[in-house]
């Protein structure tokens, strides 16, 4: 009788371990996916910051030209 209880307990523990291993694998995959998305967003943000800086410089340049044109007349 005791042997059956031990076998049942071992089987239950094996199932729990398999479930935890599966859960850990899903978490690892999700973590990798999140890291990849984070890297993509960081690259996109860097591009947007660069484009914003370029646009700002262009606007400032246009403003300077307009001001200088105003002083010429």
Cα dist from 69 to 61, 64, 65, whole Å? 12, 9, 6
pTM flag (> 0.75): no
> What is the spatial distance between Cα 9 and Cα 31, in angstroms, rounded to a whole number?
32
pLDDT in tens, the chain (73 residues): 577 799 999 999 999 999 999 999 999 999 999 999 999 999 999 999 999 999 999 999 999 999 998 877 5
């Amino acid at each position: 009788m005791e042997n059956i209880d031990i076998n049942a307990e071992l089987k239950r523990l094996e199932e729990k371990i398999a479930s935890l291993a599966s859960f850990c694998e899903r978490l690892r995959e999700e973590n990798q996916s999140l890291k990849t998305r984070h890297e993509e967003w960081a690259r996109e943000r860097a591009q947007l910051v660069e484009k914003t800086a370029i646009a700002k410089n262009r606007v400032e340049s246009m403003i300077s030209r307009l001001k200088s044109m105003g002083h010429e007349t």
